[in-house]
Structure 1
Amino acid sequence: MPPIPARPEEVAPDHEIESLAEFDAVVAAHGTLARFRVQAVDLTGRTEGLLRLDTEGAVFLGCPMDAEAAAEVAARGALVFPPVPGLPFDPYRGFTYTPEELFASLADGYEATPDALAYAWFQRTKSDGDILASMLRAIHDDSVSDALDELLIGARVVGVMGGHAMARGTEEYAGAARLGRELARAGFTVATGGGPGAMEAANLGAYAAPFEDGMLTEALRILAKASSFTPSVTDWAHAAFEVRERWPDGGESVGIPTWFYGHEPPNAFASHLGKYFANATREDGLLARSNAGVVFLPGAAGTVQEIFDNATPNYYGSRGNPTPMVLVDEEHWTEKLPTWPLLRALARERPMESRIALVGRIELASDALKRLAEQ
């Protein structure tokens, strides 16, 4: 399975510098920082260079630096946005999150993790009308969007959507994991909403893709010990990290969760987590980045919303070539939540008509997606 294309550390596309390695490479290659954007890089060890380099038109976003250096680069025409103290997250971050980052301090309980602390901050600030807090959330989410765009350059992304209620230890969960594995082995980048249930299962499957088939069977057994993130997110997450520790260096995939649904933790199998405060931005971004198609597993209101959020640009042709859409489980989408008849009615006499399919079993989803993509 090809990895998600990586950005070379030695270049800075669009004059963005997002790591100390990039900073040093730019200084060595160009001898100037003029008009560069330096994002969340600790520059406290680069004072000498900052004092002598041209910084006209440069922007420093949340970069720790010595006070003398900050004053000098500003005097030379740079804009300096200093780090914001006391936050459980970095609003200017240059990269997506990792599971290890969001679940740091899990040994002390989930409540001690950066993920839980960021949600607690969000809960405290979202309703008090503080313009600084709302601005920081917006900056953070825009930074995450930028990081995802850079991460996924050249990737063929298949979104896998489904509800959070799908429990570990069920055949439905195992089927979603096998789907994620099959898609990853076919060269697609699996992207999900990054949460529990069907989302975790698909990311797990992508993680399992480089290993022998028996690995997934054993991983499913281990995870079944904590079938849900309720009542204990801590136990649920520990089971996932047990799998990761036993089989390190699994396959890559993407999860795009949100703190808007704070009761849903992110899953530990998505290697790249683009977590948002604004759920609407997250939903739209996940579907828009699924450029190779979307598989919709059985879900409730959220999944129904995602189906029509994805259908709308396909219907109006605003994406150009419609992306394939595969709905799994005929009974669910024709009787329990009769979404399929409406989707088909919308698709008639539209280019998207040849890009939608309903399959009865999850084992048929990958082949259906490939078939639609060829039409």
Structure 2
Amino acid sequence: MTTLPAKRSVLRDPTFLRLWLATTSSTVATWALAFVLGLAVLDRTLSAGGLGVVLAARTVGFLVAVPIGGILADRYPRQTVVFWSCALAVVSTPVLAFGGLPLMVCAAAVLGAGQGACRPAFQALTAEVVRASQRQRANAAMTFAVRASTLIAPALTALLATVVSTSGLLLGTCALWLIAALVPPRGADQAKRERDKPHREFLEGLQEARRHPWFLAGLAALSTVTAFGQSAISVALPLVSRDRYGTEAVLAAGVTAYSVGALIGALIIARWRPRNQGWAALAGLALFGFAPLSMLMPVHPVVIVAAFVAVGIGIELFNVPWFTATQREVEPGKLARVSSLDFLFSYGLAPIGLAVIAPAIGAFGLSAVLAVCAVVCFLAPAAAALVPSSRHLSVVRTRRSA
């Protein structure tokens, strides 16, 4: 087993740095796809309708592959699952770059499958190569790198687009996927276990998740906030920026403020160890309610920017302890399957929210929809906090406290 030495900083260990580089590369490559395809719409090599179909195919592939990836990552070495998942992305990207629309749709589904299958494997691999005492800082370092990349990469990509074609930019993401495939360290050699039918192995993951009420409550809160809060950002912010303020600057400032806040949140949670970690994490998640609330009334744009900074801070105050607790509390042989549930529901409900919020705005008005989104984002984490084990994100610690 490759594990960090007890006294070495996680940020100085070559084993973790390999994992950090691979995870960051895969996440940035995943993010880059939508942005680069958006550039293809701007230069008229892809229609807006075609973009929607391609991204929908990617999402379907992602959601189908996440639970499968969780099963495979608990059955085989996690490093191997990461390699083959990223290899799918490598081979499908050239087809996406140079194929016609039917081929692009098929390639996007395969690419999404690679993106989805590697997520739970990376989560489980982190638990294998990083000691429990250092995982929070490790997870914070990973999310910091991803947020920094998403803050800087749009400008860099737009600059590259002036000298490189959209197809060339897509091929450039192959390099990121190659890094993600080849760089990860070898984790622990998992004990051989009797293999069962895939659906039974998936049910074993569900049973393991049920052993952790804090996980189910937190996942319900996260999925709800993602569906309502993220939809408010994605749909309502452009409308507010255009119709209320008459400029796209508010949209750009809000999105940038969210990323800056997330960077700040990652720095804070890398060192902060609140006594009631679960309650603090859920309070951070509840800050998402300030996004729709800030857009509800005609306030100065600075108020919206400040709200989005708070939202960014809050989401990382939740994410990092959430990942760390899952890696600590869940049985190692079932960690990938439980992590796949996290990605399946938190990512899976987001498209539903996006599909519903625009018609809802047309039917009930922007203010009513924003008010509902704000209330839901505040109440969902509060409801999750009522589950006793949510206080510490641990059933064992809750029993000891009792």
Shorter-normalised TM-score: what interval? Answer: under 0.3
Asked which structure has the greater CA Rg, the reply is 1
Greater per-residue helix proportion: 2
Greater per-residue strand proportion: 1
What TM-score do the two structures reach when normalised by structure 2? 0.24
> Which structure is higher in RCO with an 8 Å CA cutoff and minimum separation 6?
2
